[in-house]
Structure 1
Amino acid sequence: MVYLFDIKMAMIIFPFVALLITFPVLLWHYHRFGAVSRWSILMLYSFIFYLMCAYFLIILPLPSVAEVAKLTTPKYNLQPLMFVRQFIKYSPLQVTNIHTWIATIKSPTVIQPLFNVFLTIPFGFYLRAYFRKSWRQTLLMAFCLSLFFELTQLSGDYGFYPRPYRLFDVDDLLLNTTGGIVGFWLTGWVLPLLPTSEHITERLQIQSRQVSTFRHATALVVDLISLAMVNSGLLIFASLARLTVESVAQPIALFALILVILLPQLAWHQTLGMRLVHLKVTTVGGELAPTKAIITRWLIGYSMFILPAVIGSIAAVIDHTSILYSILGAVMFIYVAIVIIVFGLDLMIDLFRPSHALLFERWSKTRLQSSYA
C-alpha cells in the first residue's frame, strides 16, 4: 500500500511537471525536426512519469525531522551480496516443503531484492527503445541512476534531515543496475512491435512541411516572451534614466513591438520564434512576402497591443480628468474586447480546420510557410 501511495503522489504532481515542460519540449521538437512526433512525446512523458514514480518510491513516505534525529539504525551497508546472506538466514524456504514457498515469496528477503530489480527494468526499456542506447551505456546509466538514489538517501534528502532515514546499500546498486540490464534485454522482444527510427523520421519529414496551429503557437509564445523581456529591459532603462515610467510605458511597448516583431520580419521574414520553429512569412503563392504585406500583417495581427499602446501614449499626455481621457479609455476597452472575441473565435476555427487561414493572414494575404530543410 505504501508503494501505491508513492505512485499516487507522482500522479498528482505529474500534470504540473508536464505543464512546465510542454513548451520547451514543443520548441525543441519543432526546432530539431520541424514537427512533433506523437510517439516521441508519449515516450518522453511516460519516461518522466516513471522517473517521478521511482524517485518517490525511494524517498517517500517522509518522516518528521524529530523522528529521524532519534534513529540509531545503520546508515549504510558496504558489504556486497548481503541480501543473499539474509535470504539464507531469514527465509522460511524449505525446498522439500511446498507450503513454505508462498511464504518465502512474500518474505522481505525476496520482496526487497525483487523490488530493486523491478524498479529499474523500465529504465532499461526506455534507454533501448527510446534513447537507442547500447547495453554498455545502459549498464553505466542504470548504475548512475541507482547511485543517485542511494546518495539521495545517504545525504538525508540533500541535508534536509540530520541523518539518513533509509539505508545506503551497495546491494541496491547491484540490483538496480541488474534491473536496467534486464529491461534492456527484455526490450529486444518488443522492439519489432515499436516504430523504428526510420519510420519516425519519415513521418517527421512529411509533417515538417506542414504548419500546424501548435507550431504557429510555439513561435508566438517565443515572440511574446522576447517581447516581454525587451519591454521590461527598456522600462528598467527608462527608470534608471529617471524618466516617469507611467508616461513612457506605452511608447516603449510600441517600440518593443516594432523592434521584436516587425523589424525582424521586414529584414528576414522571420521573428525569433519563427526562426526557432523554422517558419517564414510568405505570400499565398509561396513567395517571400513584400514589405506592405508584412506591415499589414503586423498591424492586424498585433492590433490588440498596438492600438492600446497608441491610445495609451496619447492618454499619458492629456488631463486624466478630461472627457477625452474617459472616451479613449472606453474606446480601448471596447476595441480590446472585440479583438479578443473575434480572434478567439478565429483561433477555435483554426484548431478544428487545419486548412483555415487566420483573419490577419487573409487580410494581409500572407501565410506562414515551413522553412525546414
Structure 2
Amino acid sequence: MGVYISDVQMAVFFFPIVALLITFPFLLWNYHRQGAISSWSILMSYSLVFYLICAYFLIILPLPSQSEVAQLTTIKYNLHPFMFVREFINYSPFRLSNVHTWIPAIKDATLIQPLFNVFLTVPFGVYLRIYFKRSFKQAILFSFLLSLFFELTQLSGLYGIYPRPYRLFDVDDLMLNTLGGTIGFLISGTFKNIIPNGATMQHTMQIKSQKVSIFRHSTAAVIDWILIIITDLILGLVLGGIGIDLSRIYSLIWILDTVIVILIPEMLFKKTLGMRLVHVKLTHKNDDPHVSFGNILLRNIVGYSWFYLWALAEFSTNGLGISHKVQSVLIVGLLVYLVLFFSILIVDVLIDLFRSEHDLLFERISKTRLKSTLRN
C-alpha cells in the first residue's frame, strides 16, 4: 500500500503543473462553445485530470534505472487469461475452513493486485456516464482502450525509454480494468440525485454567457498576444530578409504588431481574433454598438500604455543613443508607472471577480466595454 500512496503523492505534486497547462485550452474551448463555464464542469474536468494522472503514475512508478531493466530476465507479457485466479488458488494463504487465514489472504498480493486493477478504472466508468454521457457499450469500449493504453505503455518500456519492459503486459489486467470501468458505469446511477439537472445547468449557462467575466476577457487577450508574437516573428523575418537593421527599431515593431493584431481589427470589426473566438465584441459603455474610433483608440492607448511606454523607452535608450543619465530617469519613471498600472489592474481584477457588472479602469476611461455576441 505504501507504494500506491507514494504514487498518489507524486500525482498530487504534478497536478498543479498539468492543471496550469490545460487551463487556457479548457477556458478557450468552453468560452468558444458556450460563452461560459459552469462550476460543475470545472469540478469534473479537473478531478478527471487528477484521476488520470494518479492512474498513470500508478502504472509506471516507481521508475527503475535503465541498467536494472537491462538485466531483467522476467517474462514480458502474459497472454493466458484468468492467470490471477490460478495464482490466488495456488499461492494465497486463504483457507475457507481456517478463519485465521482470511485476514492474511486479504493482505496478500494475489488478492490486492487483481482488486487494484478493478478499482483503478472504476472512477473512469463513473466519468463516462455522468460527465461524458456515454452508453453502456461505449463505457466498456473506452475502459478497454484506457487499459490497453496502460498495458502498451508498460510493454513499450515506457515508449522506448527503457531497453525492455519493466512491468508485465497482462491480459488479465485488460479484463480487470475493463470490468472496473463497467462497474463504475453501473454504480454511477446511484449518484443521480447529486448531479445537477441538465435543464437547470443549461439555463444557468445561458445567463452566464451574456456576461463577460474577467476570465473570458483574459482568454481573448491571451489569444491576441499569441497572435502578436506570431506576427512579430513574421515581420522580423520579412524585414530582416529585405535588409532592414532591426536592432535599433525592434521595440517599434512590437508596437506595429499590436496595431495590426488589435487596433485595426477593433476599428474595422469591433473585435479581434481573440474576441471572436470567445464571442465578444466592443461596444460603447451604454451598450451602443456604434462605438467611435476615438473611443477605441483611447481604449488601446490607456489599456496598453504600459507596453507602449516600455517599447518607446526601449527605442529611446537603444535606438536614439541618449545619455546614461537620461536612460536612468526613463527606466525609473517606467518602473514607477508599471508598478502603479499593475497595482490598479490587480485591484480592478479583484473587484471584477466579486462584481458581475464591473468595467475595468481603461474601459471606464475610454467609455467602452466588451459585450457577449451569443444569443440564447
TM-score by length of 1: 0.94
Q: SS at the partner of 2:249?
A: helix
The AA in structure 2 aligned to 1:36 is I
Q: Would the aligned equivalents of 1:286 and 1:369 in 2 still touch at CA under 8 Å?
A: yes
Partner of 1:301: 303
Partner of 2:363: 361
Q: CA deviation at 1:325?
A: 5.9
In 1, the alpha carbon distance for the partners of 2:70 and 2:102 equals 39
The AA in structure 1 aligned to 2:11 is A
Q: Would the aligned equivalents of 2:249 and 2:319 in 1 still touch at CA under 8 Å?
A: no
Aligned residue pairs, count: 373
Instruction: Rate the CA distance shift 1:98–1:323 in 2: closer, same or farther, 3 A.
Output: closer
Partner of 1:108: 109
Q: SS at the partner of 2:322?
A: coil
Instruction: Rate the CA distance shift 1:110–1:296 in 2: closer, same or farther, 3 A.
Output: same
In 1, the alpha carbon distance for the partners of 2:50 and 2:71 equals 34
Instruction: Rate the CA distance shift 1:331–1:119 in 2: closer, same or farther, 3 A.
Output: closer
Q: CA deviation at 1:302?
A: 1.3
Q: Would the aligned equivalents of 1:222 and 1:273 in 2 still touch at CA under 8 Å?
A: yes
The AA in structure 1 aligned to 2:370 is L
Q: 5 Å matches for 1:193-208?
A: 193-208=194-209
In 1, the alpha carbon distance for the partners of 2:344 and 2:175 equals 61
Q: Would the aligned equivalents of 2:211 and 2:356 in 1 still touch at CA under 8 Å?
A: no
Q: CA deviation at 1:313?
A: 4.7
Q: Sequence identity of aligned pairs in percent?
A: 51
Q: CA deviation at 1:312?
A: 4.6
Q: SS at the partner of 1:357?
A: coil
In 2, the alpha carbon distance for the partners of 1:322 and 1:12 equals 47
In 2, the alpha carbon distance for the partners of 1:312 and 1:101 equals 76
In 2, the alpha carbon distance for the partners of 1:324 and 1:67 equals 63
Instruction: Rate the CA distance shift 1:119–1:343 in 2: closer, same or farther, 3 A.
Output: closer
Q: Is residue 151 of structure 1 aligned with residue 147 of structure 2?
A: no
Partner of 1:19: 20
Partner of 2:134: 133
Q: Is residue 225 of structure 1 aligned with residue 237 of structure 2?
A: no
Q: CA deviation at 1:248?
A: 2.0
Q: Is residue 349 of structure 1 aligned with residue 336 of structure 2?
A: no
Instruction: Rate the CA distance shift 1:349–1:189 in 2: closer, same or farther, 3 A.
Output: closer
The AA in structure 1 aligned to 2:88 is F
Partner of 1:93: 94
Q: SS at the partner of 2:371?
A: strand
Q: 5 Å matches for 1:1-373?
A: 1-288=2-289, 289-310=291-312, 312-313=314-315, 318-321=320-323, 331-373=333-375
In 1, the alpha carbon distance for the partners of 2:220 and 2:117 equals 43
Deviates more, 1:353-362 or 1:39-48: 353-362
Q: CA deviation at 1:9?
A: 0.4
Q: Would the aligned equivalents of 1:31 and 1:278 in 2 still touch at CA under 8 Å?
A: yes
1:44-100 Cα deviation digits (max 9, x unpaired): 111111111111111111111111122111111111111112222222332233222
The AA in structure 1 aligned to 2:293 is T
Q: CA deviation at 1:270?
A: 0.6
Q: Would the aligned equivalents of 1:318 and 1:325 in 2 still touch at CA under 8 Å?
A: no
Deviates more, 1:342-351 or 1:126-135: 342-351
In 1, the alpha carbon distance for the partners of 2:344 and 2:50 equals 38
Instruction: Rate the CA distance shift 1:114–1:343 in 2: closer, same or farther, 3 A.
Output: closer
In 2, the alpha carbon distance for the partners of 1:325 and 1:96 equals 90
The AA in structure 2 aligned to 1:164 is P
Q: Would the aligned equivalents of 1:213 and 1:354 in 2 still touch at CA under 8 Å?
A: no
1:298-349 Cα deviation digits (max 9, x unpaired): 1211112223434555666534338766665555444444433333433333
In 2, the alpha carbon distance for the partners of 1:101 and 1:322 equals 83
In 2, the alpha carbon distance for the partners of 1:313 and 1:22 equals 35
Q: Would the aligned equivalents of 2:231 and 2:257 in 1 still touch at CA under 8 Å?
A: yes
In 2, the alpha carbon distance for the partners of 1:328 and 1:104 equals 76
